[in-house]
Amino acid sequence: MSFKKTVRTLPRVGDGPVFRRALIGIVLIIGAFLILAPLLIIGVEAFAKGWQVYRDTILHPDTRHAIMLTVLAALIAVPINTAFGVAAAWAITKFDFRGKGFLLVVIEIPFSVSPIVAGVAYLFVYGLQGLFGPTLDAYGIKILFAIPGIVLASMFVTAPFVARELIPLMQAQGRDLEEAAVSLGASGFRTFFSVTLPNIKWALLYGVVLCNARVMGEFGAVSVVSGNIRGQTNTLPLHIELLYHDYQAAGAFASASILALIAVFTIIAKVALERQGAGRVRPVANSAENAS
């Protein structure tokens, strides 16, 4: 006599076709109203008064200066934060030392502090009434209401992005490849460029893309430290606000379309990097031998 074992499979939440379709429909509707609709409105309103008004707004000296200042802040802040993120991730994942937990907390601080609060904190550090303000003023060094203050504020709010992408990946990869490369005689730089970097390159680019998008769209901290001086210390988000307050809606939407395009390209780059394996462990064969 043979006994046939029956395995009963418990139903999972969402297995029913009605529930699944309803859930997908709700997500699509909410996404359409919260994400797609604002983007479409920006595009429609930007060209509501015609191509000539859009072109004149983009080519206006104040708009061009705002765009140039935004790009300059990104060109300075993103590379510095990239180097910081790589160094922080390397230190946390490859070494054991006292204070590692504290370093992780420090990296997370910009995510838990409001950007406006960060901007006010910079006022009390570098302002004329701040900690270093009188000394800086005595030597003629201007931090706030100038480009250095904008860059510092942008660096603060975007400091964790690269590190946050690299730390989980490098922890999952472990230290075996680096230790093998060092045991074979590779130097520290050779180990990094031949072993570590190939394993983290997609996650690194992923963090750089997110960091760049946040720098260009940052408003809160920059609005406090820049002084909102039209044509001098206004980044593109601040310029959009000024246009809107001046009842130049078409100009505000035209300028906002640039940030919207940056957001679209960021999403495309993000998806492309995810398909390349950003954030996933991708072992490199024989990387330790190649480093030696």
Across 10-30, average pLDDT: 79
Query: What sign results for the dihedral spanned by CA atoms 99, 102, 108, 114?
Result: negative
pLDDT level of residue 273 (50, 70, 90 thresholds): confident
* pLDDT tens digit sequence for 115-149: 999 999 999 999 888 888 888 888 888 898 889 99
Across 211-231, average pLDDT: 88
Considering the chain, what percentage of its residues have pLDDT values greater than 90?
29
Q: Which tokens go with 133? A: 């303000």
Question: Is a pLDDT exceeding 80 seen at residue 291?
Answer: no
151-186 b/e (C-beta count within 10 Å ≥ 16 → b): bbbbbbbbbbbbbbbbbebbeebeeebbebbbeeeb
Owner of token pair 């720098």: 215
Q: Which tokens go with 62? A: 């104040």
Closest CA to 208 of 63, 80, 111: 80
Closest CA to 110 of 201, 248, 259, 215: 215
Question: Is a pLDDT exceeding 70 seen at residue 286?
Answer: no
pLDDT level of residue 155 (50, 70, 90 thresholds): very high
Residue 21: CB atoms within 10 Å: 10
pLDDT level of residue 97 (50, 70, 90 thresholds): confident
Question: Is a pLDDT exceeding 70 seen at residue 281?
Answer: no
